[in-house]
Structure 1
Amino acid sequence: MANLHKTFGGYNQVIRLSDEKREELIASRNELRGRIYQRHEQFQHVEDKPYEELEFQSQGSFETDTIIAPENDDYDLDDGVYFIGPLPPGKRPAPAVFHKTVLDAIGDYDASKEVIDKETCVRVIDKKGFHIDLPIYYAGNKECPDLAVKSKGWILSNPVEFIAWFEEKAQSGFQKSFIYEARLFSQYERWLSDVRKNDVQIRRIVRYLKSWGDLRREEMPCGLIMTILVANNYYPHDRDDIALKETLVLIESSLRKKFQCLRPTSPVGEDLLATYEHKDAFMRYLQQFIENAKKALAEPDPQTACEHWQKSLGKRFKCQEIVRHSAPYIKPSSGLVAGVGSNKPYGNIYE
């Protein structure tokens, strides 16, 4: 039974967004923030301005560090733009007005290849290949924001709640007050640094599924759905190859019972797979992934086992030096081999 935990470690380093690319995203984000804030300053003394303050908060996979570097380099960052004011939904300008405010503020951003006004955000596509999504919110405070959806109006949506939900699964010690209270900003920065250093297994498993999905992008669910499916079905183990296989089995079992993915935070209970059009293809790919994983775990030769994983994970899952880094092969007992296809523990759980 080949142990490819170290090979998965190398794969994780390949697909995990590098520090250099993270810095590029942050630099672009900060430039856009500066442009939007400068526009806000110009209207600081306008009497009928529909908001009082302007704040920003990055969100999504960049914050939870489940972001990947796709094979085609189309990585992204979500940075929420928060218009803070007292007006209830019925008395605010329409969401499209706030979208236009952000668009006008960005203007002719030199680094941008294209700026797109989407339903829930303004997307800035950078010439380097990545993009920044700017979802727009209005709130009396950042704990109860409404998302500006052009066709539907104002919808309660708090991305910080999702960060908190996922980080509870990851047992990272995250507190929402890190974001909501300025006095805790230094603690928030330390937490972010620790997240990057520790890189716990559940984050790696999310990345593996996202990278698998990236190879079949048009037919696969979005990263948010992949993250929720992993978090709800995560199987911890001291080996990533076993943890991944068992998590896949649990995901498939859950989806066969009921093909749904319920949003855990506002709007709570929304089925993110309700309008998904590629159920059969996704379930077929998932079954193939599980079969390849089972074959890999049952295979005594590390090189052959790696090739089974590579069928699902692609060429970035490197097998060239697999023999040199693998432990000597010891023939497994018949009972252990029989257990490869089941959803049973194989070793000590440490995360």
Structure 2
Amino acid sequence: MFDCAKDVRAYHDQEVTLPKAEQDQMRNRRDANRSRLRNGLAKAGEPAPLEFVKQGSYAMRTMTRDPDNDYDIDDGVYFAKEDLVGERGAEMTSLQARQMVRDAVDDGKFNRAPEVRSNCVRVYYQAGYHVDLPVYRRVVTKTVFDDEIHYELASSSGWKRSDARDVSDWYEDQRANSADGLQLRRINRDLKKFARSRLSWRAGILSGFGITVVVTERFRQADREDRAFYDTMVAMRDRLDWNLQIAHPVTPGDHITSGPDDTRARCFRDKLTEATDTLQPLFDADCTRERALKCWDKVFATTFFSERLENEKRSALTAPAIIGSATLLGQTAAAAAAVSSAGGGRHA
């Protein structure tokens, strides 16, 4: 396979992963939203949250850059079960808890009002991103020896046992047990970027979380970044050829996909096949760097790789001129020094 390892790594570092400035903006948005919710709850006389827990791709650090700022920040908000009671002392339903959070976070300054969704409250921002607030309650059960604690999500089907931290912990375990946890995360980001590289794909392709699960199942570590990406794509495609169902990694019995012929998983599998086919010229003995980089451009629907080659060509052309100028300057300086040491010039 023609070696484009440095190019694939450069694409990840420059076009895929979020730069520090954007990461800081994400954190600021999250913190501002937390303050807004706390203030809204206090103003309405509602219970204060026990804590907030970042989750999803934001917590796992697998978010990718998006030119349209289509970012999804997941930030779970946790309450004590005993605090979530209605006006007459009855236990809040999962819908009432989400409505309470929606009302508290809506300070009237949004162009689009926050919405109650099936498993969260969604807050929309004019810049294009949104913050999802899943609502949890902490349940404490008294036992003979100690208190047992578990958490439940306010879902569309009622209070469902779940905890955002479980998924983040699972992902860190997967990385720790892999051959190269840092490379796994980079390849994870690259594949999510690939899946969102065409606007026409986004509505019908496997979710980012689904991609993450399959990446952890079939990650193929390699010394070369391009080889790791390609081998992982092939392994994921073969896995989905065999079975389109993807089990939830921390919720027994739950699936990310909707059945044995899930359309989103099938779409992702087919796009992986197209990508691996696109890269086949890299295995030809006469493959050139120009041809190889055009193939990578096609995979990611970008011009990054070809532009990288053009920059290399321009640098190669200007380098001799720069070296020549430096040599000339050096010779001139040497001549001047010689004249000075001989007596200071012709008027001495």
Taking structure 2 as the reference length, what is the TM-score of the superposition?
Answer: 0.76
Q: Corresponding residue for 2:183?
A: 201
- Superposition map of 1:55-134 within 5 A: 55-86=51-82, 92-108=91-107, 110=109, 113-134=112-133
* Structure 2: stretches of 5+ with no match in the other structure: 141-147, 314-348
- The secondary structure found in structure 1 opposite 2:118 is coil
Q: Corresponding residue for 1:161?
A: 166
Q: What RMSD over aligned residues (CA atoms) do the two structures have, in Å?
A: 2.9
Match of 1:148 among 154, 164, 182: 154
What's the offset of the Cα at 1:172? 8.8
The range that moved more, 234-243 or 289-298, is: 289-298
Q: Decide whether aligned partners of structure 1 residues 31 and 88 sit closer, same or farther in structure 2, where only a CA change above 3 A counts.
A: closer
- Superposition map of 1:1-351 within 5 A: 1-13=1-13, 14-42=15-43, 53-86=49-82, 92-108=91-107, 110=109, 113-140=112-139, 144-150=150-156, 152-171=157-176, 200-214=182-196, 215=198, 216-265=201-250, 267-275=251-259, 276-298=262-284, 300-315=287-302, 317-322=304-309
What's the offset of the Cα at 1:109? 5.2
Partner deviation per Cα, 1:100-120 (whole Å, 9 max, x = no partner): 111111123536644222111
Equivalent-residue separation in structure 2 for 1:143 and 1:170 (angstroms): 27
Q: Is the 8 A contact 1:170 1:200 kept in 2?
A: yes
What's the offset of the Cα at 1:143? 6.5
Q: Is the 8 A contact 1:2 1:300 kept in 2?
A: yes
Equivalent-residue separation in structure 2 for 1:112 and 1:76 (angstroms): 18
What's the offset of the Cα at 1:322? 2.9
Q: Decide whether aligned partners of structure 1 residues 36 and 74 sit closer, same or farther in structure 2, where only a CA change above 3 A counts.
A: same
Equivalent-residue separation in structure 2 for 1:222 and 1:143 (angstroms): 31
Partner deviation per Cα, 1:57-93 (whole Å, 9 max, x = no partner): 111111111100124220121000111234899x731
Q: Give the AA of the match of 1:164.
A: D
Equivalent-residue separation in structure 2 for 1:56 and 1:3 (angstroms): 45
Partner deviation per Cα, 1:151-204 (whole Å, 9 max, x = no partner): x0011122211111111121299xxxxxxxxxxxxxxxxxxxxxxxx9811111
Q: Give the AA of the match of 2:132.
A: D
Q: Is the 8 A contact 2:152 2:162 kept in 1?
A: yes
- The secondary structure found in structure 2 opposite 1:254 is helix
Equivalent-residue separation in structure 1 for 2:135 and 2:158 (angstroms): 12
Q: Give the AA of the match of 1:10.
A: A
* Structure 1: stretches of 5+ with no match in the other structure: 174-197, 327-351
What's the offset of the Cα at 1:295? 2.9
Partner deviation per Cα, 1:22-78 (whole Å, 9 max, x = no partner): 22222121111112222444577xxxx7x6753101111111111001242201210
Residue identity (%): 24
Q: Is the 8 A contact 1:40 1:54 kept in 2?
A: no
Taking structure 1 as the reference length, what is the TM-score of the superposition?
Answer: 0.75
Equivalent-residue separation in structure 1 for 2:122 and 2:231 (angstroms): 37
Q: Give the AA of the match of 1:75.
A: Y
Q: Give the AA of the match of 1:161.
A: D
Equivalent-residue separation in structure 2 for 1:302 and 1:4 (angstroms): 8
Instruction: Work out the number of aligned pairs and report it.
Output: 294
Q: Is the 8 A contact 1:262 1:270 kept in 2?
A: yes
Partner deviation per Cα, 1:215-240 (whole Å, 9 max, x = no partner): 22122111000000101100001111
Larger radius of gyration: 2
Partner deviation per Cα, 1:290-344 (whole Å, 9 max, x = no partner): 2223333546312211111222211164322237769xxxxxxxxxxxxxxxxxx
Equivalent-residue separation in structure 1 for 2:254 and 2:223 (angstroms): 34
Q: Decide whether aligned partners of structure 1 residues 316 and 76 sit closer, same or farther in structure 2, where only a CA change above 3 A counts.
A: farther
Say which structure, 1 or 2, has more relative contact order (CA 8 Å, 6+ apart): 1
Q: Is the 8 A contact 2:278 2:295 kept in 1?
A: yes
What's the offset of the Cα at 1:211? 0.9
Equivalent-residue separation in structure 2 for 1:110 and 1:43 (angstroms): 17
Q: Is the 8 A contact 1:11 1:316 kept in 2?
A: no
What's the offset of the Cα at 1:2? 2.1
